[in-house]
């Protein structure tokens, strides 16, 4: 089946962290910051928000190249 990311959207305070998970598709999964700020651990899915407010999109990619995105609001 298709890959999915959890949670798919949430709000996070600046400089805080949140873990993402993935399911479906074909493991292993790779996490990345597709747009906006912040950093993410590619293998664990631990996202760290930037120091300024804004928005970001985190993407998970499975071993077949399927993707799923999560929207983050940073305040």
The DSSP secondary-structure symbol of 8 reads: S
pTM for the structure as a whole: 0.95
**d(Cα 74, Cα 52) in Å, to the nearest integer?**
8
CB 32 within 8 A of CB 40: yes
pLDDT tens digits along 36-67: 999 999 999 999 999 999 999 999 999 999 99
Residue identified by tokens 């962290």 is: 17
- Residue-wise pLDDT for 6-21, tens only, equals 999 999 999 999 999 9
Peptide bond into 28 cis (omega under 30): yes
Binned at pLDDT 50, 70 and 90, residue 3 comes out as very high
Residue 73: predicted pLDDT = 98
Q: Within the chain, where are the H helices?
A: none
**Mean pLDDT across 33-37:** 97
């Amino acid at each position: 089946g298709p890959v999915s990311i959890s949670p798919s959207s949430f709000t996070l305070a600046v400089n805080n962290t949140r873990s993402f998970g993935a399911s479906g598709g074909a493991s292993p999964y790779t996490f990345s910051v597709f747009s906006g700020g912040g950093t993410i651990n590619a293998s664990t899915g631990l996202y760290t928000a930037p120091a300024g407010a804004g928005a970001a999109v985190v993407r998970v990619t499975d071993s077949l190249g399927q993707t799923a995105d999560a929207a983050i609001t940073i305040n």
